[in-house]
């Protein structure tokens, strides 16, 4: 599929009532102030490289879509797990369920964010709100394929990578990207994807049968090493040191595609005795995260179990690199390093993992 046809495909989706979102380049001068903090800009100027920022926005014109290998600043997480979602609306004592209705097409989902969707699919397997939303989402992945001319590699790319990612349609950019002349090899990954391609009138694609999130054969060695260190060779020093640096801002949890923890709260509405029960993102870095009921401690704080910064940052790493591997047999980190990019005190996950492995 070439660029012109891709643009037609975008218009086709729009006409079929899909609300389309995808990576787009936001020029520096039109960036909303809230998109990126001034502090971060001052400390990590490279995040605004190329005079702009790749952000996921609603695509009105097909030309706005940017399908190269630059990672969007935020992930696609909130399309799957919204920042806040209404579980029930209540009036007096009766609860009414509330489900998502809008069809959403996500275009240009990169390999790393696709990996994260594998995790959501597992975690929210029995969640009717997630499943209702998921049914209405069309996932169109994309990435460039290095050295596609080498057949052996192309084979591996399909078997080792694409087979284990959840998408409906996938565009593999198999040429050196030159401006306005991209060429994509097209794959379908679901019946839904096939139907849409066929209906659009595009036949030149191959189907890839999703074979689950885990590669066949031996479990991932790095996953095994990290899990063993965290579970059996706890090294308090690493966490004490990180505890002195981390300021518990929670930005890493917001930008992390695999952070999904949430709290459930009731929000009263304007009408008497009405309101909504809302599930919204939480962060294990926040003081309230592990609070339990009971009388306050002598220092006036509510009783809690993650008492120190060190305990809280350890909890974050333990979840991704021990608990998720225990539950699903894959690592709870896609390796995007967004957390390092937004960290105001420069904690880099890559360095921390090296330290854990070396401990």
Partner 1 sequence: MNNPYLSEPAKIVKITPQTDTVKLFRFEFVQKVWGYNFSFAPGQFIELSIPGCGEAPFAPCNAAGAKYLELCIRDIGRLTHKLHEMKVGDKVGIRGPYGNGWPIINQKSKIKNQNGEKKNLLIVVGGLGLIPLRTLILGKDKFLGKDIKVQIFYGARSPQEMLFRYEYAKWRENGIDVKLTIDKECANWVGCVGLVTTLFDKFPIVENAQAFLCGPPVMYKFVLEKLKQKEVTDQDIYLSLERRMHCGLGVCQHCAVGPYYTCKDGPVFSYEQIKNIPGVI
Residues that bind partner 1 (CB under 8 A): 87-88, 90, 92-93, 95, 97, 123-124, 126-128, 131-132, 231, 234, 236, 260-266, 268, 273, 275, 277, 282, 284, 289-295, 305-307, 311, 314-315, 318-319, 322-323, 326
Cβ 263 to partner 1 shortest distance, Å: 5
Cβ 311 to partner 1 shortest distance, Å: 6
Nearer to partner 1, 99 or 153 (CB): 99
Nearer to partner 1, 128 or 146 (CB): 128
Cβ 9 to partner 1 shortest distance, Å: 31
Nearer to partner 1, 157 or 239 (CB): 239
Cβ 175 to partner 1 shortest distance, Å: 42
Cβ 242 to partner 1 shortest distance, Å: 14
Cβ 111 to partner 1 shortest distance, Å: 25
Nearer to partner 1, 149 or 308 (CB): 308
Nearer to partner 1, 304 or 337 (CB): 304
Cβ 55 to partner 1 shortest distance, Å: 27
Nearer to partner 1, 30 or 299 (CB): 299
Nearer to partner 1, 157 or 289 (CB): 289
- Over the chain, what HEC string results? CEHHHHHHHHHHHHHCCCEEEEEEEEEHHHCCHHHCCHHHHHHCHHHHHHHEEEEEEECCCHHHECCCCCCCCCCCHHHHCCCEEEEEEEECCEEEECCCCCCEEEEEECHHHHHHHHHHHHHCCCCHHHHHHHHCEEEEEEEECCCCCCHHHHHHHHHHHHHHCCCCEEEEECCCCECCECEEEEEECCHHHHHHHHHHCCCCEEECCCCCCCCCCCCCHHHHHHHHHHHHCCCHHHHHHHHHHCCCCCHHHHHCCCCCCEEEEEEECCCCCEEEEEEEECCCCCHHHHECCCCCCCCCCCCECCCCHHHHHHHHHHHHHHHHHHHHCCCCCCCCCHHHHHCCCCCCHHHHHHHHHHC
């Amino acid at each position: 599929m070439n660029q012109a046809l891709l643009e037609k495909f975008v218009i086709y989706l729009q006409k079929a009532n899909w609300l389309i979102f995808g990576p787009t380049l936001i020029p520096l001068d039109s960036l909303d102030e809230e998109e990126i903090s001034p502090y971060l800009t001052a400390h990590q100027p490279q995040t605004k490289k190329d005079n702009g920022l790749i952000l996921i926005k609603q695509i009105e014109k097909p030309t706005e879509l940017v399908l190269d290998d630059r990672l969007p600043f935020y992930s696609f997480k909130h399309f799957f797990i919204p920042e806040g979602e209404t579980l029930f609306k209540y009036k007096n004592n009766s609860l009414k369920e509330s489900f998502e209705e809008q069809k959403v097409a996500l275009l240009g989902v990169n390999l790393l964010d696709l990996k994260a969707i594998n995790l959501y699919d597992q975690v929210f397997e029995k969640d009717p709100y997630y499943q209702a939303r998921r049914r209405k989402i069309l996932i169109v992945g994309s990435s460039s394929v290095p050295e596609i001319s080498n057949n052996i590699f192309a084979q591996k790319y399909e078997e080792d990578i694409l087979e284990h990612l959840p998408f409906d349609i996938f565009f593999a950019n198999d040429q050196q990207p030159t401006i306005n002349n991209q060429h994509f090899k097209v794959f379908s990954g679901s019946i839904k994807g096939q139907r849409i391609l066929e209906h659009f009138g595009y036949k030149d694609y191959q189907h890839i049968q999703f074979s689950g999130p885990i590669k066949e054969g031996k479990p991932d060695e790095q996953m095994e090493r990290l899990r063993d260190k965290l579970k059996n060779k706890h090294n308090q020093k690493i966490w004490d040191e990180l505890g002195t640096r981390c300021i518990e801002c929670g930005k890493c949890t917001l930008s992390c595609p695999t952070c999904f923890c949430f709290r459930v709260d009731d929000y009263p509405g304007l009408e008497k005795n009405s309101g909504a029960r809302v599930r919204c993102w939480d962060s294990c870095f926040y003081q309230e995260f592990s609070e339990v009921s009971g009388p306050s401690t002598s220092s006036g704080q509510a009783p809690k179990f993650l008492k120190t910064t060190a305990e809280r940052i350890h909890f974050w790493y333990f979840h991704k690199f021990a608990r998720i591997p225990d539950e699903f047999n894959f690592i709870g980190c896609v390796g995007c390093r967004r957390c390092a990019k937004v960290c105001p005190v420069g904690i880099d996950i890559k360095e921390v993992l090296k330290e854990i492995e070396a401990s």
